Amino acid sequence: MPEPQSSGSSRSAGPASRGSGRGRLAAWAASHARCLLESLGRLHRRWVASLLTVLVIGIALALPAGLYVLVKNLDTLASSWHQSVRISLYLKQDVSADSGQRLADDLAGENGISSTQFISADEGLRQFKQASSFGAALDALGSNPLPGVIEVTPEASLPPAAVGQLVDQLSKRRQVDHAALDQAWLRRLTAILALISRASWVIGALLSAAVLFIVGNTIRLDIENRRQEIEVMKLLGAGDAFIRRPFLYSGVWYGLLGAIVAIMVLVACYMALGGPLSTLTASYQGGLSLTGLSLRESAGLLAIGIALGWVGCAITVNRQLAAIEPR
């Protein structure tokens, strides 16, 4: 009967091994949860120093995040302005109203053009009389000096360089005498946005390094204050991973709380600027919507804060623990 006994023992060993594996996993999770709470308790016991560190980290994270929000809203504003760009095609005097309308219809179907509007010479003269006080002087001329005009609206997705190329192409049309577009301001705005965007990345990288140094220096001081405790733990056989764990969680708390402070700073700034922003939005007839950080962007900022706190702590702890040996 040996074979049935062997089979039964293997069946009993399987659940036992699975049970021991679940037990080890539960013990591992409980150990990490205990370290997480203990590290938060240490921050609470030194709440003044911890608060100052968290505030510095929060301000350091709020600056690049604020620049990101600024660039995002300026992009929205630039898109709104870009949609208002118009190319004015001044037709030659010998182009009739019917020919001008046909040309406007043909241009409306070309690539890069969103819409066209033909304004005849008579319509242009009537609009000019209504908008100015030179009606009597214009009537004295006897003939209409204004040419027909086609207002061309480029597609909103066209970059400024492509809009310039479109102006050059339209100016070469046989019926067109002159094509006008004041796009210098658009090029300057695009260059300013690119500069601010690049500056936000550079400042973000510099301040991220500053967060690493702040967390690292704070953890280094904490390790020095607990140097004797660490030496005793090493004498009792504790490994570096066990000693390192609470310090790493302290870095996580510093990064997480600093990111929360950064979000609160951005919300406070947005609320403080709510009045002027509402006035600016109203000037665009509600077509301009200014926003802060979205939920996904806020979660990303929290993740960045946690990562910076963890990395800054890990770099310092590994170096400091290697230099501490029990006497």
pLDDT mean by block of 10 residues, the chain; 327 residues:
45 54 73 78 85 93 90 73 73 84 85 84 72 59 74 77 80 85 69 84 91 89 83 78 84 93 91 74 59 88 93 87 73
* Residue 90 near residue 177 (C-beta atoms within 8 A): yes
> What is residue 5's predicted lDDT score, i.e. its pLDDT?
45
Q: Residues with Cβ < 8 Å from 8, sequence gap 6 or more?
A: none
Angstrom CA distances, 326 to 55, 227, 277, stand at 36, 10, 61
Tokens 């210098």 sit at which residue? 184
Q: Angle 295-323/184-225 helices, nearest 10 degrees?
A: 40
DSSP-derived secondary structure letter, 133: S
Q: What is the pTM of this model?
A: 0.66
Q: Cα separations (Å) of 157 from 82, 162, 194?
A: 9, 10, 17
User: What is the distance between the alpha carbons of residues 222 and 42, in angstroms, rounded to a whole number?
Assistant: 10
CA distance 39 to 43: 6
Task: Provide the β-strand partners of residue 154.
Answer: 113
pLDDT of residue 147: 82
Q: Which residues contact 224 (CB under 8 A, 6 or more apart)?
A: 320
Q: What b-and-e string marks burial along 6-43, b requiring 16 or more CB atoms within 10 Å of the CB?
A: eeeeeeeeeeeeeeeeeeeeeeeeeeeeebbeebbebb
Q: Minimal CA–CA distance to 312: which of 65, 47, 56, 28? A: 56
**Distance of CA 219 to CAs 35, 240, 262, 311, Å?**
15, 15, 21, 12
Q: What pLDDT shows up at residue 92?
A: 86
Instruction: Determine the pLDDT at residue 209.
Output: 92
